[in-house]
C-alpha cells in the first residue's frame, strides 16, 4: 500500500511537468506575434526640424553615423529641397530609416576605389597625401559625393593638382580640387575630406563643374 500511495502522489507532479512546456510555447508564440506587430507598426520615416548650422551631411551623420548617406535624406525630400547644399532653419525634413527607392548605386571604374570605400570607416587616414585616381574616387565618395560622378571628380582633381593634398596655386587655390581661398578657410582647406566636400558643394554634387578651368577647357579628360 505504501508503494501504491507513492505512485498516486507522484502522478500529479508528472502531469504538471508535462504541461509546463506547452504553456511556455504559448507564451513564446504570443511574444513573437507581439514583436512582429511592433516591427510592422514602426513608421518608415521620422521628421527632423533643421537647426542653425545644419547640413544634409551633418544630419545624416547624426542619424546614420555616415555623412555620406545625406543622399537618403535628399531623395526623401526632393519636393522641398531645391539645392542639396542649402537647407533652412525651421524646415521640417523627412528622415527615412533606409535608403529610399531611386537612390542609385555605382561601381567605381577603378577596382581599388571599391576596396578603399569599403574600409573607409577604419582607414580614412589612408585617403591623404598624394592620391591616384582610385584614391580620389574613394575620397569623393567619402565626402558624400555622388557615386555616378566619382570618376569625373577624380579626373578633375588629377588635372587640377596632380592628386597632391598640399597643392597650392599662385592664385590661392588649395588641395586636391584646388578650392579658391575666396570660399573661406572651411572649404579652401588641405584637409582631404573638407576639400572633397567643398568640391561637392561648389559643383552641386558633380552636376556643374563650370568653376574648374580644367573642365571647361577639356584638360581633365583622360587623366584617369
pLDDT tens column, 148-173 = 999 999 999 999 999 999 999 988 99
Determine how β-strand 45-49 pairs with β-strand 173-174: unpaired
pLDDT reading at 178 higher than 80: yes
Specify the range with the lowest mean pLDDT, choosing from 93-102, 110-119, 187-196: 110-119
Contact 190, 178 (CB under 8 A): no
Q: Please give the Cα distance from 82 to 118 (Å, whole number).
A: 30
- Closest CA relative to residue 137, chosen from 117, 123, 165, 159: 117
Specify the range with the lowest mean pLDDT, choosing from 33-42, 55-64, 74-83, 178-187: 33-42
pLDDT (0 to 100) of residue 119: 40
pLDDT (0 to 100) of residue 173: 93
pTM of the model: 0.48
Q: What is the CA radius of gyration of the chain?
A: 28
Position 42 confidence tier, pLDDT thresholds 50, 70, 90:
low
Identify the H or E element spanning 56. Answer: helix 56-64
Position 37 confidence tier, pLDDT thresholds 50, 70, 90:
low
pLDDT (0 to 100) of residue 5: 39
pLDDT reading at 80 higher than 80: yes
Burial of 100 (0-12, 13-18, 19+ CB in 10 A): middle
Amino acid at each position: 500500500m505504501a508503494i501504491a500511495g507513492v505512485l498516486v502522489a507522484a502522478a500529479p507532479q508528472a502531469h504538471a511537468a508535462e504541461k509546463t512546456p506547452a504553456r511556455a510555447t504559448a507564451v513564446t508564440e504570443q511574444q513573437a506575434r507581439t514583436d512582429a506587430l511592433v516591427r510592422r507598426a514602426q513608421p518608415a520615416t521620422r521628421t527632423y526640424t533643421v537647426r542653425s548650422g545644419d547640413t544634409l551631411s551633418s544630419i545624416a551623420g547624426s542619424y546614420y553615423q555616415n555623412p555620406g548617406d545625406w543622399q537618403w535624406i535628399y531623395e526623401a525630400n526632393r519636393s522641398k529641397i531645391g539645392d542639396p547644399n542649402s537647407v533652412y532653419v525651421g524646415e521640417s525634413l523627412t528622415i527615412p530609416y533606409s535608403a529610399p527607392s531611386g537612390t542609385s548605386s555605382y561601381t567605381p571604374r577603378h577596382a581599388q576605389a571599391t576596396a578603399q570605400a569599403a574600409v573607409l570607416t577604419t582607414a580614412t587616414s589612408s585617403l591623404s597625401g598624394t592620391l591616384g585616381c582610385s584614391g580620389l574616387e574613394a575620397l569623393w565618395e567619402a565626402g558624400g559625393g555622388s557615386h555616378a560622378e566619382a570618376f569625373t571628380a577624380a579626373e578633375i582633381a588629377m588635372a587640377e593638382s596632380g592628386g597632391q593634398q598640399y597643392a597650392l596655386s599662385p592664385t590661392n587655390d588649395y588641395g586636391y580640387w584646388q578650392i579658391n581661398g575666396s570660399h573661406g578657410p572651411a572649404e579652401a582647406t588641405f584637409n582631404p575630406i573638407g576639400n572633397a566636400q567643398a568640391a561637392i558643394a561648389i559643383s552641386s554634387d558633380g552636376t556643374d563643374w563650370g568653376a574648374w578651368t580644367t573642365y571647361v577647357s577639356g584638360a581633365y579628360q583622360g587623366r584617369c
